[in-house]
Amino acid sequence: MSSTIVIGAGISGLSFAHFSKKPCIVLEKEETAGGLCRSVIQNGFTFDASGHFLHLHHGWTERLVRKLLDDNLAAIRRNSAIFTNRTFVPYPFQANLYHLPTKIKKECLLSFIERPSPVNADANFLQWSHATFGSGITRHFMQPYNEKLWTVSARRLTADWTAPFVPKPSLADLIEGALTDRTKQFGYNTRFFYPAHGGIQALVNALGRKKNIRYNTNVRAINIKNKYVETNAGDRLHFDTLVSTQPLYQLLDSINGLPAAITTAREKLDWNSVTCINLGVRRATRAPVAGGRHWVYFPEKEYPFYRAGVYSNILPSLAPRGCASFYIETSRRPGKRASLEELYERARKGLLKCGFLGAADRIETIQFADIPCAYVIYDKHRAAAVETIQKFLAAHNIHSIGRYGAWKYSFMEESITNAATLADREGQDEGEIVGILNNPSP
């Protein structure tokens, strides 16, 4: 009988196991499932490893999530903003210039009208942003925000990740958004979903039910010639098909005897790291935190975080009565990070400065989630390196999937759809998924 091994019980590995009709075994190095979709409940606060919200674009993924979570699912209309010049600009920045000082608004509008002609596919992000939005929107939001998030220069970043993530309003939309305080919603996530109870962990728990998962099992080495994985316990497990969801560079580092071309491609992979600081706070007032917004982007250097979210504005049940709960995201180059105390202190000062925290609010609990591999860097090397590596792996019947396995900027829904597609392609799911995939929502 052929054997399939899955590395990782995150949403990708569990989705593959869910859709696979052939038996498979999931090896997970931690003692619980979830990967980045883990939640913890601490002092009555429910925290994720940074807010994890379901942006569902296909009818079949929405049906799947509804089936898995039954009635434990809330649908929420997005309320997000950018904090800049000491004011909130509704997301997306480029479509809501009305809220900015007149001088900046004028600069953004004029430079949009006078923007340079469209650029080639190989233009860097800075060139793309100038050609798409003009120099004003680039200078006041696109460049500072993206350099803070990705931790590399906008000249090094490519623009091939922007299509689903960066809304491109027309001139008419831009003008309307500069003249009026309108409510029109733009972007990929105007409505999102989240478990009513239990954090995002509720979804992975439902996906992982009745699956064959071996916890505390770290795949340390992979022998591609004799087709087995070796675990921390020293076990050798044979595979015909290996599905890996760990970061691509870690997968390669565990394979012995890589060809030189693959080692070279591996060296081209780059990424950033993120620390998420979760805070539970007893509020001194009843006024809504951040005006009730769900999450806010911070392009300015004086704030150490690139995004701050308020779980309790999304669902009040995520925090005890009279309390608010936050997730604060800071990014860095991989490697050494500041101490958690230092990160917390900087974040606390930033939150006080922008008014998310009041001087009389009391911090009740703090929780940290460190994400060593958080965002894959899109530079001119990424696409070719990933193609070379994936071809090599496929020749050995190894499939590297998920946000970090496929080495891309993607969300949970894509993890589910890619895993389902692979399960289908592997012939492990006779027909069912083909039916689902051919029947997208209206």
Ligand X SMILES: Cc1cc2nc3c(=O)[nH]c(=O)nc-3n(C[C@H](O)[C@H](O)[C@H](O)COP(=O)(O)OP(=O)(O)OC[C@H]3O[C@@H](n4cnc5c(N)ncnc54)[C@H](O)[C@@H]3O)c2cc1C
Closer residue to ligand X, CB minimum distance, 53 or 161: 53
Distance separating alpha carbons of residues 210 and 97, to the nearest angstrom:
51
For the segment 347-376, give every residue that binds ligand X (CB under 6 A): 371, 374
Q: Which amino acid is at 305?
A: F
Least distance between ligand X and beta carbon 115 (Å): 31
Closer residue to ligand X, CB minimum distance, 329 or 364: 329
Closer residue to ligand X, CB minimum distance, 25 or 175: 25
- Cβ proximity of 75 and 352 under 8 Å: no
Least distance between ligand X and beta carbon 14 (Å): 7
Closer residue to ligand X, CB minimum distance, 127 or 250: 250
Closer residue to ligand X, CB minimum distance, 139 or 214: 214
Least distance between ligand X and beta carbon 117 (Å): 34
Residue 50 sits in the site that holds ligand X (CB under 6 A) = yes
DSSP for 383-412, written as a single string: HHHHHHHHHHHHHTTEEE-HHHHTTS---H
Least distance between ligand X and beta carbon 418 (Å): 9
Q: What are the residues facing 47 on neighbouring strands?
A: 40
Residue 246 sits in the site that holds ligand X (CB under 6 A) = yes
Residue 55 sits in the site that holds ligand X (CB under 6 A) = yes
Distance separating alpha carbons of residues 402 and 421, to the nearest angstrom:
12
Closer residue to ligand X, CB minimum distance, 125 or 411: 411
For the segment 200-219, give every residue that binds ligand X (CB under 6 A): 218-219
DSSP for 317-334, written as a single string: GGS-TTEEEEEEEEEE-S
How is the beta sheet containing 398-400 ordered, strand by strand?
Answer: 213-214, 24-27, 4-7, 241-244, 398-400
Least distance between ligand X and beta carbon 427 (Å): 22
Closer residue to ligand X, CB minimum distance, 64 or 109: 64
Which tokens in the block code for residue 418? 């890619």
- The 263-292 site mask, x for binding ligand X (CB under 6 A), equals -----------x------------------
Residue 37 sits in the site that holds ligand X (CB under 6 A) = yes
Which listed residue (5, 11, 202, 319) binds ligand X by CB under 6 A? 11
Closer residue to ligand X, CB minimum distance, 13 or 195: 13
For the segment 404-423, give every residue that binds ligand X (CB under 6 A): 404, 410-412, 415
Distance separating alpha carbons of residues 410 and 374, to the nearest angstrom:
11
Distance separating alpha carbons of residues 53 and 72, to the nearest angstrom:
14
Least distance between ligand X and beta carbon 151 (Å): 13
The helix/strand/coil state of 19 is helix
Closer residue to ligand X, CB minimum distance, 218 or 421: 218
Least distance between ligand X and beta carbon 295 (Å): 9
Strand (E) or helix (H) holding 68: helix 59-69
Which tokens in the block code for residue 150? 């990705």
Q: What are the residues facing 272 on neighbouring strands?
A: 375
Distance separating alpha carbons of residues 305 and 81, to the nearest angstrom:
14
What is the 8-class DSSP label of residue 141? Answer: I
Least distance between ligand X and beta carbon 102 (Å): 34
Site size for ligand X (CB under 6 A): 35
Which stretch in 48-56, 121-129, 162-170, 349-357 sits in contact with ligand X by CB under 6 A? Answer: 48-56
Which stretch in 23-31, 83-91, 280-288, 298-306 sits in contact with ligand X by CB under 6 A? Answer: 23-31
In sequence order, which ranges of 116-190 are alpha helices (DSSP H)?
125-133, 135-137, 143-150, 171-179
For the segment 73-112, give every residue that binds ligand X (CB under 6 A): none
For the segment 328-347, give every residue that binds ligand X (CB under 6 A): 329
The helix/strand/coil state of 108 is helix
* Neighbour count for residue 225 (Cβ, 10 Å): 8
Closest listed residue to residue 194, CA positions, set 22, 314, 41: 314
Least distance between ligand X and beta carbon 104 (Å): 29
Closer residue to ligand X, CB minimum distance, 76 or 131: 76
Closer residue to ligand X, CB minimum distance, 108 or 219: 219
* Neighbour count for residue 75 (Cβ, 10 Å): 11
- The 177-196 site mask, x for binding ligand X (CB under 6 A), equals --------------------
With vertex at residue 15, the alpha carbon angle to CA 14 and CA 19, rounded to the nearest 5 degrees, is 115
Distance separating alpha carbons of residues 119 and 138, to the nearest angstrom:
15
Distance separating alpha carbons of residues 390 and 384, to the nearest angstrom:
10
Residues that bind ligand X (CB under 6 A): 7-13, 27-30, 35-37, 50-53, 55, 218-219, 245-246, 250, 274, 329, 371, 374, 402-404, 410-412, 415
